[in-house]
Amino acid sequence: LNILLSFAQFEREIIGERIRDKIAAAKKKGKYTGGHPILGYDSIKAKLYVNADEAKTVQHIFRRFLILRSPMNLARELNAEGIKGKSWTSAKGKVHPPRPWNKQSVYSILNNRKYLGEITHFDKIYPGEHEAIIDQKTWDQAQEIFSENSHSRAKQSRCKTPSILKGILRCGHCDSSM
């Protein structure tokens, strides 16, 4: 029994390696390997095709980010304007309606290299089979904003009202700042 279990475990490990190798090879060729559909593209038979209406939304998000320089403010603006995210139906038929925008959802769009027409696999980047929605110049400008010290950008957004005792007053119980 132990010998059979050892062979079964070994076979599972071999199958896992083969799957990882197959995904890596597909990404090297620039193929889309699945996952949740992203805004701006439709997945048809394991290929990404540009959805013209959603692509305009993605371009709008990048343009507004270059002006606002804040994912949080951009998320608030998108929600206020009623701009929707991606709505999709799973293979099992479950409908996933668009969610309200938040900082993370905006951030994930602004850092997704698929919009440049590229595919990533861990830290490697490959040219993709799909068409780009964003040009390299716009991408570089957005990434330059992110490369600024994120702490200083966050501090600027939080420092709207001056506080005289800021950094001085602390909680007597947990010693966190008040």
115-162: pLDDT as tens digits: 999 999 999 999 999 999 999 999 999 999 988 856 555 555 565 666
Report the Cα 177 to chain-centroid distance in Å: 32
Task: Give the integer Cα–Cα distance in Å for 35 and 38.
Answer: 9
Tell me the three state secondary structure of residue 122: coil
Residue 151 tokens read as 């702490």
- pLDDT value of residue 94: 92
- pLDDT value of residue 3: 95
- pLDDT value of residue 152: 59
- pLDDT value of residue 155: 59
- pLDDT value of residue 173: 79
- pLDDT value of residue 88: 86
Q: Taking the CA of residue 30 as centre, how many other CA atoms within 13 Å lie in the half-sphere pointing to its CB?
A: 11
Residues in the chain predicted with pLDDT less than 50, given as ranges, are none
133-142, long-range: CB within 8 Å, 24+ apart, which pairs?
133/40, 133/41, 133/50, 133/55, 133/58, 133/59, 134/58, 134/59, 134/62, 138/62, 138/63, 138/66, 139/62, 139/115, 141/66, 142/62, 142/65, 142/66, 142/110
pTM score, whole prediction: 0.76
Task: Give the integer Cα–Cα distance in Å for 65 and 71.
Answer: 7
- pLDDT value of residue 34: 85
- pLDDT value of residue 176: 76
CA Rg value for the chain: 22
